[in-house]
Amino acid sequence: MLKKSEIEQRLSSYGDFLLKRSIIAPGKEQYYITWVRGFFYDESFFKGRTWEEKLPQYLDKLTGEPRIASWQVDQADQAVRLYFQNFYAADKSSIEEVHTGSDNDTPGVYDSNKALKDLKEWMRIKHYAYKTEQSYLNWCKRFFSYSIECKGGGDQRGSVHVSPELIKDFLAQLAIQRKASKSTQNQAFSALLFLCRHVLHLELKDMEKNLRSKIGKKLPLVLSPMEVKRLLAHVSGTTGLILKLIYSSGIRLSECGRLRVKDLDFDQHLLFVRSGKGDKDRSTILATQIQHELQLHLTIIRKRHEQDLADGFGEVYMPGALGRKYPAACREWGWQYVFPSARLSVDPRSKKTRRHHVSDGTIQKAMKKGVRAADLVKPASVHTLRHSFATHLLLNGVDLRQIQDYLGHQSVETTMIYTHVVKNMRNPAISPLDLLDQMTGEG
């Protein structure tokens, strides 16, 4: 067991670590030190046990204290984990480097501008989506800013320090100080992992397995058939048509925006999704009730496209190398978006002036407005309509495997989550409170 002087020396270094790394809110360092001190001085801590085994017992002991609130228990959990996963791991690795005679005890220095440029090139080589590209670049920029802040500023050339320890600290700061969700933290780690693997060639060792947050299973939010009917009664125009199409076909918002005219098969009542999530194609239902309104919409869009051609525009984005293989296809009617934007815009990659598809934000605003107008208390989003599509098909007796094909899920286990929602909607059990009079023989 550590001596008292050794513990206090380590805690002093831990306090300096917290001050320099800006992981927690300023002024909270003393509380984190106090929790770790209590962890070390606890009588149940003895040699031969790991801190992971000890921590749950320590937290249980704190939970039993009447003067300690639940948020303080969470803070103690964060304090101990920061000590062992961030501070102690980094301190231990630096000691090992000194003993092995390594002179590289400082993190590597990289050119941030060149790293971001190479990162963008690698993502385009691997055909990452444009939104993913922007998201990864943003996380790497934020990490570089954090690195400069921790190291006291960078030079004019944009050089930054990068090391596994700094990556750990950045993710810890997101979770503790920024209160980022688990999915946000995992997205940030994915961006930094891509940067280290393909651009910086930095080995992260076991961090790839240990730094991802585990996300529990969550039931999807689903509207009842009556709630969907009320919602669709309060939406109109092109955005209303889009929301009806998403509910009737179960497609994602991004997939709806990328729909081309050629992907609609009115004769067979089918809608084809091209290069959906995971770069997979699939077909789904095209509801009969929506087809007439959809055809009227296409008539209007075709006239607009013909006017664009007359004005010297009329091109649309072509996936992959199809634009070079078929130079005239970008002006053909079949390749045009079903729901184009109201304005021409400049493509951020090719710099060509085109008519892009309608923005996701426009549809999300229309959905939010419709939810308010329908007086729905559920925080429904556009994706809620996709969940409702799958659940209502299950309620109508459609086979789970068929629903999996409609949604484009890779595994049927993903689709099975809707069975838990249906279980609550179909013949729910009667509460014992409602049966109380019958059980007591009264009434």
| Catalytic site residue from 386, 387, 392, 406 | 386
For 28-106, where are the alpha helices, taking DSSP H only?
29-41, 51-63, 70-81, 89-99
Verify whether residue 409 is a known catalytic residue: yes
Enter the DSSP assignment of 331.
G
Task: Give the pLDDT score at 155.
Answer: 53
Backbone angles phi, psi at 272, to 5 degrees: -105, 130
Q: Determine contact, residues 262/332, Cβ cutoff 8 Å.
A: no
Q: Which of 32, 83, 247, 418 is catalytic?
A: 418
- For the chain, which domains are there? 4-99 (1.10.150), 108-210 (1.10.150.130), 225-425 (1.10.443.10)
- Give the predicted TM-score (pTM) of the model: 0.71
Catalytic residue among 37, 151, 252, 368: 252
User: Exposed/middle/buried for 295, CB within 10 Å: 0-12, 13-18, 19+?
Assistant: exposed
Annotation marks residue 418 as catalytic = yes
Task: Identify the pLDDT of residue 98.
Answer: 34
How far is 329 from 385, CA to CA, in rounded Å? Answer: 33
Phi, psi of 273 (to 5 degrees): -100, 120
pLDDT recorded at residue 103: 37
Q: Which of 120, 230, 234, 277 is catalytic?
A: 277
Where the chain has pLDDT below 70, the residues are 1-2, 43-49, 89-107, 151-157, 206, 208-211, 442-443
Give me the residues paired with residue 160 across strands.
110
- Name the token pair of 111: 């050119």
d(CA 148, CA 159): 9
Please indicate whether residue 252 is annotated as part of the active site.
yes
Cβ-count burial of 75 within 10 angstroms (0-12 exposed, 13-18 middle, 19+ buried)?
buried
pLDDT confidence of residue 208: 66
Distances (CA, A) of 304 to 112, 264, 265: 45, 19, 22
212 is catalytic: no
Radius of gyration of the chain (CA): 28
386 carries an active-site annotation? yes
Given a contact cutoff of 8 angstroms between Cβ atoms, the answer to whether 76 and 35 are in contact is: yes
| Active-site residue, selected from the candidate residues 10, 161, 357, 409 | 409
Structure confidence at residue 95 (pLDDT): 37
Burial of 230 from C-beta contacts in 10 A (0-12 / 13-18 / 19+):
middle
Cα end-to-end distance, the chain, whole Å: 68
**32 and 79 Cβ atoms separated by less than 8 Å:** yes
User: For residues 420 and 403, what is the distance between their CA atoms, to the nearest angstrom?
Assistant: 15
Predicted pLDDT at 91: 54
What is the spatial distance between Cα 281 and Cα 98, in angstroms, rounded to a whole number? 55
CA–CA separation, 139 and 143 (whole Å): 6
Whether 157 sits among the annotated catalytic residues: the reply is no
Task: Report how far residue 219's alpha carbon sits from residue 242's, in angstroms, rounded to the nearest whole number.
Answer: 25
Catalytic annotation, pick one of 81, 197, 212, 383: 383
